[in-house]
Amino acid sequence: MLRKDTFTEEQNAIRDMLRKFVDKEIMPVRLELESDPKLVESIHQKLVDLGIQRAGYPSEYGGTGPGSPTTLGIVCEELARGDAGISLSCGINAGFVLQAAMVAQNKAILDKFIPPFCGDKINYACLSMTDSTGGADTENPLLQGRGIKTRAILDGDEWVINGSKSWPTHAGIASVYLTVCSTGYEQGEEGVALIFVPGNSPGLSFGQPEKKLGFRTSVNASIFYDNVRVPKEYRLAGPGADAQFYYATMAGTQWHSSVISLGIMRSVFEIILDYTKGRESGGKPVREWSLVAGILADMAIRLEMTRGAVFSYAYMMEHPEIYGPPFTKDMVAKASIVRSYASDSCVWVANKAVELMGSNGLSPEYHLEKYLRDSKITQIWLGGQQICKYRIANGYYDYYVR
């Protein structure tokens, strides 16, 4: 639940604009989008034309931001109501990947990679995180960086990167890859290295796009680093600091996930409210039976509690002077709480909606099955719900693998 003054007048205007955009440009073609990459690209280009992409970047590079987390949350929620994959891509391209470099004020990275995102064409970024070997060990805070398998070695003025990543979004189409590496497993957090890799780097190659249950409008593929060389100044901030930025990035991506879950839930709730109003049983609308009304009420509870948590955390990110920087264990834990609750609620709401709709819930005609498929992914990415619980526990007491 949100207070009436949660959003500014400008943010309410952005919300209304995006809601109309989704209703006009995405809702009528939801089925076609999942099998037509060119149609997806056209939607992204229209979002660029609206100024959404450049809103995440500083004015000195041609951007109109960086915007606030609350504003980005509004954008991503509205887009996820139409299509979760498009919302995911939009958030990544609008600053999530390069946010750390903006905070660190690494001018070499900013000068090299930001300008294309402030132009008139869609441009993609990629967070290259999960290792092909070890999987969620890359994201596991209990390992303190020792689970990262992709290796970076400094050779003169260049980093040499070797390893492989699985399932990163925008693999093969991005112009920049924020690559999570280790300079030495024995160094723990001091060895965590965040290195920005140009998409055209020699030795960088990609697998075929993954075929997926959901999020079919976003591209995932494996990434292979074979002696990929990049200038040493493309490392974000250095030993120790990179680990902090990594944890901050994880907090931000988890929050982004919760925003997407919120958007999916909203659409599911709208679909099932309309369906149970028009569908009759025993001579009256289905939703007038107490059993169904109780289920709809439980959906509304999860939806409103998720909305309150999402934008409460956005406020916290905007006020580090009160709540601390986003890399602290407390802030990472809170992001994990929001993400865990949002994704579980999203799956629960989608499942219950299908139960209320019966066999029609499995028909693409009603669109619900699409949101059901998309909802599940929010539970299993970013290390899954299990790693998410580690982050939560670690925010309340020292919980490490020793």
CATH number of the domain bearing residue 384: 1.20.140.10
- The residue segments making up the domain with residue 216 are 125-234
Q: How far apart are CA 42 and CA 17, in angstroms?
A: 18
Residues 358 and 278 grouped into a single domain: yes
149 and 100 in one domain? no
**What proportion of the chain, given as a percentage, has pLDDT over 90?**
93
| Cβ neighbours, 10 Å, residue 385 | 15
- Convert 334-344 to b/e letters by CB count within 10 Å (16 or more is b): bbbbbbbbbbb
Sequence-separated (6 or more) residues with CB below 8 Å from residue 42: none
Residues 186 and 163 grouped into a single domain: yes
| Predicted pLDDT of residue 106 | 97
Instruction: Residue 185: give its domain's CATH number.
Output: 2.40.110.10
Q: Are residues 251 and 356 in the same domain?
A: yes
Q: Is residue 283 part of a domain?
A: yes
Strand bridging mode 176-182 / 125-128: parallel
Question: In order along the chain (402 residues), what is the average pLDDT of each group of 10 residues?
Answer: 85 96 98 96 98 95 91 97 98 94 96 97 97 90 93 98 97 98 94 98 98 97 98 97 96 97 98 95 93 98 98 96 95 97 98 96 95 97 93 87 56
| 162 and 88 in a common domain | no
Query: Both 245 and 390 in a single domain?
Result: yes
CA distance 79 to 85: 9
Residue 94's closest CA among 314, 316, 252?
Answer: 252
Identify which of 238, 248, 251, 250 has the alpha carbon closest to the alpha carbon of residue 152: 238
227 and 301 together in one domain:
no
Q: What is the pTM of this model?
A: 0.96
178 found inside a domain: yes
Q: How many domains does the chain have?
A: 3
Residue 4 lies in a domain: no
Question: What CATH number is attached to the domain comprising 59?
Answer: 1.10.540.10
In a domain, 3, yes or no: no
Query: What is the Cα–Cα distance from 382 to 250, expressed in whole angstroms?
Result: 8
DSSP secondary structure code for residue 333 in this structure: H
Rounded Cα gap, residues 105 and 67, in angstroms: 16
Residue 92's pLDDT is 97
- Which pLDDT does position 135 carry in this prediction? 80
**Same domain for 389 and 245:** yes
Within a domain: 2: no
Q: Could you tell me if residue 1 is inside a domain?
A: no
Q: Are residues 254 and 333 in the same domain?
A: yes
Which residue do the tokens 């593929």 mark? 221
With a CB cutoff of 8 Å and minimum separation 6, the contacts of 178 are 97, 98, 100, 125, 126, 127, 128, 194, 195, 196, 197, 249
Query: Are 291 and 227 part of one and the same domain?
Result: no
156 in a domain, yes or no?
yes
Bridge-based pairing state of the strands 158-165 and 125-128: unpaired
203 and 174 together in one domain: yes
The 10s digit of each residue's pLDDT in 287-303 is 999 999 999 999 999 99
In angstroms, the CA 71 to CA 317 distance is: 12
What integer pLDDT is reported at residue 402 of this predicted model?
55
